[in-house]
């Protein structure tokens, strides 16, 4: 490894910022075929290794990295629930999250020590409530049909609760969230728009997008 001066820092600041912005992109925009990926194409913590090179690069690139990188959640929320809103930068800047779905049969690099589990719909709503800048949650799954049926069922439940609240003229019967299909939007992707009530008339929302993983045959006998 060379110990010479960093060539990146010799570039003008404007060019360095352009490099940072091209280096980190949300998974939903950086891959043209995001609905079908290989496990090795899923973002990992090593994608942020540039931030560890020196203080200057960390200072310049940190905000861009956390705004644009897709972070995969491997922590079991039922053991260590996310009870508070991330208020300190850069965590509070996160806009794109990915979660492994319970039917995942392939190993995602970097997640070997964290067996994937099913994130409940309540936990997904909690993520939308906690991350104020969150724009998308990508569900990594080997069984998109199972997840799709689950979300369609949840959408029907929302509509039932809304009709019940209107019939009895009681807003307390209305759900604290809304779930709408993105079918027919300009992206053409399979997904849903989830909005949740945070309180004090504050509403936050994020898109839930399904990401199928290709069967690479790795690890099979």
The string of pLDDT tens digits covering residues 130-185 is 898 999 998 888 777 888 888 899 999 999 999 999 999 998 899 999 999 887 55
Q: Please tell me whether residue 141 adopts helix, strand or coil conformation.
A: strand
Asked if residue 163 is part of any domain, the answer here is no
152 located within any domain: no
| Claim: this prediction has a pTM higher than 0.75 | yes
Asked, for residue 100, whether it belongs to a domain, the answer is yes
pLDDT of residue 55 exceeding 50, the answer is yes
Q: Which of 28-32, 50-54, 123-127, 166-170 has the highest mean pLDDT?
A: 166-170
Report if residue 43 sits inside a domain. yes
- 123 lies in some domain: yes
98-117 pLDDT, tens per residue? 887 644 444 555 554 444 55
**Rounded-to-integer distance, Cα 150 and Cα 155, Å:** 9
Kindly report the backbone phi and psi dihedral angles of residue 68, in degrees, each rounded to the nearest multiple of 5, phi listed first: -115, -20
Whether 181 is covered by a domain: the verdict is: no
Cβ-contact 41, 31 below 8 angstroms = yes
The verdict on residue 167 lying in a domain is no
Higher pLDDT, 2 or 22: 22
pLDDT of residue 160: 94
Mean pLDDT for the chain overall: 79
pLDDT band at 207 (very low <50, low <70, confident <90, very high): very high
Measured CA distances, 91 to 68, 87, 132, 133, 189 (Å)? 12, 7, 10, 10, 27
Q: Which domain holds residue 208?
A: 10-143+201-213
**What average pLDDT score do residues 13-22 get?**
93
Q: Is the peptide bond before 191 cis (omega within 30 degrees of 0)?
A: no
How far, in Å, CA of 115 to CA of 127, rounded?
20
Q: Tokens in use for 209?
A: 């997008």
Give the pLDDT mean for 73-79. 61
Is position 178 within any domain? no
pLDDT value of residue 89? 76
Number of domains in the chain: 1
- Among residues 190, 125, 111, which one has the least CA distance to residue 157? 125
The neighbouring-strand residues paired with 208 are 137, 192
């Amino acid at each position: 490894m060379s110990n010479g001066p960093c060539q990146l820092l010799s570039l003008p600041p404007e060019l360095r910022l352009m490099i940072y912005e091209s280096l980190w992109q949300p998974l939903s925009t950086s891959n043209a075929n995001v609905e079908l990926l290989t496990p090795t194409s899923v973002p990992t913590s090593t994608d942020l290794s540039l931030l560890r090179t020196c203080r200057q690069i960390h200072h310049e690139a940190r905000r861009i990295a956390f705004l644009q990188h897709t972070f995969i959640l491997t922590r079991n929320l039922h053991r260590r629930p996310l009870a508070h809103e991330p208020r300190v930068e850069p965590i509070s800047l996160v806009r794109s999250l990915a979660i492994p779905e319970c039917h995942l049969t392939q190993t995602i690099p970097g997640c070997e020590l964290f067996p994937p589990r099913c994130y409940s719909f309540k936990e997904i709503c909690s993520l939308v409530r906690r991350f104020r800048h969150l724009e998308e949650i990508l569900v990594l799954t080997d069984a998109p049909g199972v997840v799709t049926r689950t979300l369609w069922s949840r959408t029907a439940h929302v509509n039932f609760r809304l009709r019940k609240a209107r019939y009895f003229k009681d807003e307390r019967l209305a759900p604290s969230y809304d779930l709408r299909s993105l079918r027919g939007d300009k992206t053409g992707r399979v997904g849903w728009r989830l909005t949740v009530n945070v309180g004090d008339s504050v509403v936050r929302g994020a898109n839930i997008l399904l990401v199928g993983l290709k069967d690479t045959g790795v690890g099979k006998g």
